[in-house]
Structure 1
């Protein structure tokens, strides 16, 4: 039993976190099942690739607009109660989707509206869940492992969920997929209740109102983790993440392939990200993240440029595995370092800004990359994106190296 436990991520040594991870795993799989089913339903009803893009845009754009408000709310209210409420809302929205699909509603506008509502609710859920991790694992030193496990669960869900959705859609209607997702939220809600976490009302300073965005930005300016890492993850979101949305075109135009080719390419991304997540989940300090966050963005840029020129499927799969792993290294390491650098009273707001920069900027990157690819081609678009990451990261790293106090302050913030 002890030997087996030594192979598990350290965060899973905590009973509360095991409960959380179980509920989260079920919910993530349910979320992917719904995402695939909703895309399939919208395309089946409309036959429009454009509306598929609109659906993805509506799901993600709330992270850009809502995340700072959601982060501020997380620091103002009882976090456990807030997270339970948001999961109930998400379950209700999934139930409405299931009911509409079962009744044969064929107006795509209703499904797009619900995609926007679900995206908005998820934008509140993400800062709330991330802010609770340090409390769930009970030991701040286990936070890097907890964030790694969270990433591992997401990438496992990205592999398992679509597979289940594909099987279900062969035999059943989309309504069943939506109903399963609604049911999956009960796993998270039950886990949150069973953990019996402390849930005090956060104290508020005199005169503090609203989201206090200016105060949050001023607070972040004091921390090197924000000054030098947020520009990097923003560049990765705008210029690296869009490759996923143009992957169907890449499969056809680069390799003359079909859906099987697309599956191989996306599976390669997932495999690379999953391996990286497992490695990160085994960490108990930020020492590894401090190294990863400095060189991983360069790997992203160079890999993206190499992938833009590759027309060999095996080589491209290898490059995509590296790309998927490097993106996760950058995002998860930045998330870990930023959370470890700030006081708990500011955690929700800081996570809200991080989520806005990483997830929220991705829809804008999708539009930009799509426009460039439309006018200049897929290869030049990917190469341009890689070059922009290289320039941004190079400039940021130069500024970091030129600041003699930055590394010392960062180590002080991290307690190392």
Structure 2
């Protein structure tokens, strides 16, 4: 009974391509998390500015706003495996340059902004392609939900290791080694993509790029379930997910800690998210995901409010775990619901719109949250962010029946 339950929770790994991807990402994501923490700590160490922390987040996501929808049209036309091999190679080069600048003590603040802008440009193609490619690696729609949940489990389990390791390395060696290790870690996922055999899409959009872009936007606008989910994504990404830019402020100025404190807080988010992902991985039905979205928004909002009120590390760590559980539940439910409802021929365009909203609104959210924290303080900003998530979850709950019907008709 127990072994059967475990096999059901890991059933997407029966697909060879997904198994290769999972293995490569297991290595690469640890490096990604190490770089994320090291970058935020480096910015705050060099500038001492919460606003500039938000500005870095803004710049990283800005290209997604400009290029995301256009990238979606191209993703529906191009070989997605080759696109991902290219983006991972470019990410590795970018991290390598950053590590060289830091290790040679030549790093300046403007370097960070340029490297972040380049990373955002690469990400505008990488993220929607990665979201769409899951369906290529796992062609059985019955296993798609499990693959998305396992992606989230992997993403957040490495979040337990990467930030904690980065906090240790930064505190004892410096940020440069984190960037170097991240650059090397990309080799694992590049090798995984190289070893895959993926059938080309059966349908490729034809016609002018602008016409295909309009078709995707029209589909989103006219599909009530997709539109409602994306509105929830917009609000929670803008005000909720942007809390991450304030974590160095919370760790150093509120909890009186160091880079290790930041690492533990970030790993707490990963722990909560991993538990939520494992819980979702055992689901076999898409119907009911609308309830998970409401649950996730509510728990994430409550967690952010509690973090804003806490001044004691153990309480803050527990709140981070709750916040991670909430956002993991929310984001995985939203992602899976959209991928379940949308037809394959429009998947790239719709998922690019999803990632544009998810990361693009986070662009302005990071800047807004950083500005709000600079104007008032980080605790007040976190409470406002949490309250916004609670309100968004309530508004979404008013449309649960419509989402449920769309999920039922698609499965």
Report the TM-score range of the alignment, normalised by the length of the smaller protein.
Answer: 0.7 to 0.9
Does the aligned pair in 2 maintain the 1:10–1:283 contact within 8 Å? no
Q: Which residue of 1 aligns with 2:410?
A: 414
Q: Which residue of 2 aligns with 1:321?
A: 321
SS at match of 2:78: coil
Does the aligned pair in 1 maintain the 2:297–2:327 contact within 8 Å? yes
Deviations along 1:31-72, one digit per CA (max 9) or x if unpaired, are: 223334444555566666654443333223323333222222
Deviations along 1:49-96, one digit per CA (max 9) or x if unpaired, are: 654443333223323333222222211211112111222222222333
Equivalent runs, 1:86-97 vs 2, <5 Å? 86-97=87-98
Q: 1:49 to 1:237 in 2, by over 3 A?
A: closer
Deviations along 1:167-222, one digit per CA (max 9) or x if unpaired, are: 444665655443332322221122112121113585223x4324743322210133
Q: Which residue of 1 aligns with 2:265?
A: 265
Q: Which residue of 2 aligns with 1:74?
A: 75
Q: Which residue of 2 aligns with 1:165?
A: 166
Q: Which residue of 2 aligns with 1:362?
A: 362
Q: Which residue of 1 aligns with 2:151?
A: 150
**Is 1:217 the equivalent of 2:217?**
yes
Residue ranges of structure 2 left out of the alignment (5+ in a row): none
User: 1: distance between equivalents of 2:17 and 2:116?
Assistant: 32
Q: Which residue of 2 aligns with 1:398?
A: 398
Q: Which residue of 2 aligns with 1:250?
A: 250
Q: 1:72 to 1:234 in 2, by over 3 A?
A: same
Deviations along 1:115-158, one digit per CA (max 9) or x if unpaired, are: 21012112211111111111212311111111111111111222
Q: Which residue of 2 aligns with 1:120?
A: 121
Q: 1:139 to 1:407 in 2, by over 3 A?
A: same
TM-score by length of 1: 0.86
Q: Which residue of 1 aligns with 2:342?
A: 342
Q: 1:90 to 1:378 in 2, by over 3 A?
A: closer
Does the aligned pair in 1 maintain the 2:269–2:320 contact within 8 Å? yes
Quick check: 385-394 or 341-350, which moved more? 385-394
User: 2: distance between equivalents of 1:284 and 1:83?
Assistant: 29
**Is 1:133 the equivalent of 2:129?**
no
Deviations along 1:265-292, one digit per CA (max 9) or x if unpaired, are: 3333222111111222233331352320
User: 1: distance between equivalents of 2:253 and 2:45?
Assistant: 24
Does the aligned pair in 2 maintain the 1:145–1:283 contact within 8 Å? yes
SS at match of 1:138: coil
TM-score by length of 2: 0.87
Q: 1:326 to 1:13 in 2, by over 3 A?
A: same
Q: 1:194 to 1:272 in 2, by over 3 A?
A: same
Quick check: 183-192 or 165-174, which moved more? 165-174
**Is 1:232 the equivalent of 2:232?**
yes
Deviations along 1:353-394, one digit per CA (max 9) or x if unpaired, are: 111212221132223233334444444433333333333333
Q: Which residue of 1 aligns with 2:31?
A: 30
SS at match of 2:209: coil
Displacement of 1:347 in angstroms is: 0.9
User: 2: distance between equivalents of 1:105 and 1:211?
Assistant: 47
Does the aligned pair in 2 maintain the 1:69–1:211 contact within 8 Å? no
Does the aligned pair in 1 maintain the 2:221–2:227 contact within 8 Å? yes
Q: Which residue of 2 aligns with 1:12?
A: 13
Displacement of 1:30 in angstroms is: 1.8
User: 2: distance between equivalents of 1:107 and 1:223?
Assistant: 47
Q: Which residue of 2 aligns with 1:277?
A: 277
Does the aligned pair in 2 maintain the 1:159–1:267 contact within 8 Å? yes
Quick check: 326-335 or 207-216, which moved more? 207-216
